[in-house]
Amino acid sequence: MKPILEIKNISKKFRIHHEKQAYLNMRDSISSIFKKDNSSEEMFYALHKISFDVYPGQSIGIIGKNGAGKSTLLKILSKITPPSSGKIISRGRIASLLEVGTGFHSELSGRENIFLNGSILGMKRAEIQKNFDEIVDFSGVEKFLDTPLKHYSSGMQLRLAFAVAAFLENEILIIDEVLAVGDSEFQKKCIGKMEDVSNSGRTVLFVSHDLNAVQKLCANSLILDHGVILKHGKTSDVISEYIHGNISTNYWERTTDSKSEIFFKNVRITLKGKQPDLVVEVSFKIKSNKNAPPVLVAFNVSNQMGQYLGQAMPSLTPNVFNSETEYKCEINLHNIVPDEYYLGAWIGPNLYSTFDWQKEIVSFKIIDSPQESRVQYSTAFGMLFLDSKIIDLKS
């Protein structure tokens, strides 16, 4: 079977103008013809070489933090903005719902807005006419059909908007966060409707921060982060990787040069294993500008309040030479109560002086509980779960 959507090497870059105001005026354009100086420009990749295939009937969830490139990807798929390079082959009509009620006009009545909005979304007049009663029924605003939209409550507007969109008959539906609004009852209704849609054999691309909704609607998902796909696979796997937090800020890189002779270039962490054998693997690069005697390295783990949980001081004492060297170290996280933690890195010649100290540069989230039988943990009683056992007095 051929994929209904082939996304091939899609990149989108933006020029960032420094020291310039965000939008252009004529004088700037004219004067920039005469100015050779382009040093204030920087390229920024909102998406970098994204590739994936979507097969007919598949529902794919797209998750990622704000600024990960999700909306840009959806905008390219819906032809609102072109990619800078790469291409997408589509074998079906795409309808995109990047917002509920696009084109709604507050002066027009509910009935008029159904037609206007439907037509902007790409429905034919006859299609809207055919589904009109169902749309009205689903939205539950039949009493106010001839009232101008400006007199509607925001909930009513939303219901009307979703109702129109729910009757789109395109083969591919692109949905962005539209369920993030409305009361829980209506959200349930929407999720139900969307389940029907994806069960009816249509292809759905669904972007949301609501992981429960993604889990419900999509068999497969992908994580976007800084414009690249971090993981693509079964939704349950993808979500568990996402909330394990080790992808949120698992990497730190020095952006400015240090005056110090020896300093960290970068630090990357990865969570490995399961409790009670959970470890965080720290890969780090040290840059040295001289040949030096052995140095000490330490990693501090702290919680969100800035309280230190503990320090790890791996016995890393080789000589450092005038070069960049990469190291890897494992820190045991056994017995730590589930929460979000930060890691900082320190390097110094001895315990009393410091070359470089980077505080709270990367973070990870522990989900597994230290004790298998127990689920609920609270950091109210400390960040460590102490090993203990009952001693049998009889023996």
Partner 1 sequence: MEYEIKPKEKLSLGLDELWQYRELFYFFTWRDIKVKYKQTVLGFAWAVLQPFLMMVIFSLFFGQALKVPSDNLPYPVFVFSGLLLWNIFSTGITSAGNSMVSNANIIKKIYFPRLIIPISSVLVSVFDFLMSIIIFAGMLLYYGIHIHPLKLLFYAPIGVLVTCIATFGMGTLLAALNIKYRDFRYIIPFLVQSLLFITPIIYPVSILSHDWLKYVVALNPMYAGVSLFRSGVIDVPLEPNLLLISLSSGVFFLVVGLYYFRKTEAYFADLA
Residues of this chain that interact with partner 1 (CB under 8 A) are 14, 23-26, 29, 75-93, 96, 98-99, 102-103, 105, 107-108, 112, 115-116, 119-122, 124-125
In degrees rounded to 5, what are phi and psi of residue 182?
Answer: 95, 160
User: Which residue, 14 or 55, is less far from partner 1 as judged by CB?
Assistant: 14
Give the span between the Cα atoms of 56 and 95, in whole angstroms: 15
Distance of alpha carbon 111 from the chain centroid: 37
Task: Give min distance, CB of 88 to partner 1, in A.
Answer: 4
3-state secondary structure of 147: coil
Helix H or strand E encompassing 26: helix 26-34
Give the span between the Cα atoms of 90 and 69, in whole angstroms: 20
User: Which residue, 68 or 128, is less far from partner 1 as judged by CB?
Assistant: 128
Nearest-5° angle of CA 88, CA 1, CA 202? 70
Give the span between the Cα atoms of 152 and 158, in whole angstroms: 10
Cβ-based neighbours of 79, under 8 Å, separated by 6 or more: 94
User: Which residue, 116 or 292, is less far from partner 1 as judged by CB?
Assistant: 116
User: Which residue, 150 or 359, is less far from partner 1 as judged by CB?
Assistant: 150
CB 86 within 8 A of CB 10: yes
Task: Give min distance, CB of 83 to partner 1, in A.
Answer: 6
Task: Give min distance, CB of 128 to partner 1, in A.
Answer: 10
Both tokens of 325, joined, read 């060297």
User: Which residue, 107 or 185, is less far from partner 1 as judged by CB?
Assistant: 107
User: Which residue, 80 or 313, is less far from partner 1 as judged by CB?
Assistant: 80
Task: Give min distance, CB of 372 to partner 1, in A.
Answer: 48
User: Which residue, 167 or 264, is less far from partner 1 as judged by CB?
Assistant: 167
Cβ-based neighbours of 335, under 8 Å, separated by 6 or more: 276, 370, 384, 385, 386, 387
Sheet holding 94-97, edge to edge: 94-97, 172-176, 203-207, 59-63, 220-225, 228-234
Q: Rg of the chain's alpha carbons, rounded to an integer?
A: 27
User: Which residue, 102 or 289, is less far from partner 1 as judged by CB?
Assistant: 102
Which residue's entry shows tokens 């090497």? 9
Nearest-5° angle of CA 52, CA 53, CA 56? 155
Task: Give min distance, CB of 23 to partner 1, in A.
Answer: 7
Task: Give min distance, CB of 148 to partner 1, in A.
Answer: 8
User: Which residue, 117 or 300, is less far from partner 1 as judged by CB?
Assistant: 117
Task: Give min distance, CB of 180 to partner 1, in A.
Answer: 15
User: Which residue, 84 or 369, is less far from partner 1 as judged by CB?
Assistant: 84
Q: Which residues pair with 324 in a beta bridge?
A: 287
Cβ-based neighbours of 206, under 8 Å, separated by 6 or more: 59, 60, 61, 62, 175, 194, 213, 214, 217, 218
Both tokens of 332, joined, read 């045991």
CB 230 within 8 A of CB 224: yes
Task: Give min distance, CB of 36 to partner 1, in A.
Answer: 22
Give the span between the Cα atoms of 67 and 244, in whole angstroms: 19
Task: Give min distance, CB of 135 to partner 1, in A.
Answer: 16
